Amino acid sequence: MMAKCTIEKVRSFFLDKENKPCPLTEMLVKSGYQQVSGGYIDRARKENIVVDYRKNSPSQYWHLMSYCEANNPSKMFPRSIVCGELLFWMAEVSESVSKAELNQLLDNIINSPLYIKGDRPYYDRKKWNELIHKLCFDSIKYSCLR
């Protein structure tokens, strides 16, 4: 029987990865691929953390740690996590998905904005979050269990 990937195991696995370089995730977020509101964006605003995709802020490390702190550590890390930039970061810093695959996905996303408002591109987050999830989630989960 496979070990369970709990929120605590995920938190412990990523705890020392705050300063690990994540150039692909930075490129993704700085290209405008960041939630506009809700979830971690609203939480960051309430905590007076700068919300600015151009600065890759808030960080995905903060996003993950604040999620883990707000949830029961013994619960399973849920498959219902859909935030593409979070899963992309987790895959990049854990090296659970190859750089080539992440690069290809990054290129596909940033080269297909739905529209641009001002200087910010907006993307089909439902589509891309599903593809990111499909590519990354299980690989991340298995990395956390090693």
For residues 50 and 2, what is the distance between their CA atoms, to the nearest angstrom?
40
User: What average pLDDT does the structure give for the chain?
Assistant: 95
What is the mean predicted confidence (pLDDT) over 104-126? 96
Per-residue pLDDT averaged across 37-50, rounded?
94
Question: According to the model, what pLDDT value does residue 29 have?
Answer: 98
- CA separation (Å) from 2 to 117, 141, 145? 46, 11, 9
Residue 143, pLDDT score: 87
Q: What pLDDT is recorded for position 145? A: 78
C-alpha dist (Å) from residue 100 to 81, 107, 121: 23, 11, 24
pLDDT of residue 2: 52
Mean pLDDT of 31-56: 95
Mean pLDDT of 88-106: 97
| 110 contacts 27 by C-beta, under 8 angstroms | yes
Query: Cα angle vertex 22, ends 122, 11, to 5°?
Result: 100
pTM for the full predicted model: 0.95
Per-residue pLDDT at 3: 66
| N-term to C-term CA, the chain | 14
Would the pLDDT of 11 be above 70? yes
116-143 mean pLDDT: 95
In this structure, the strands spanning 120-122 and 115-117 are: antiparallel
Segment 45-63 shows an average pLDDT of: 96
pLDDT > 50? residue 1: no
Q: What is the pLDDT of residue 125?
A: 96
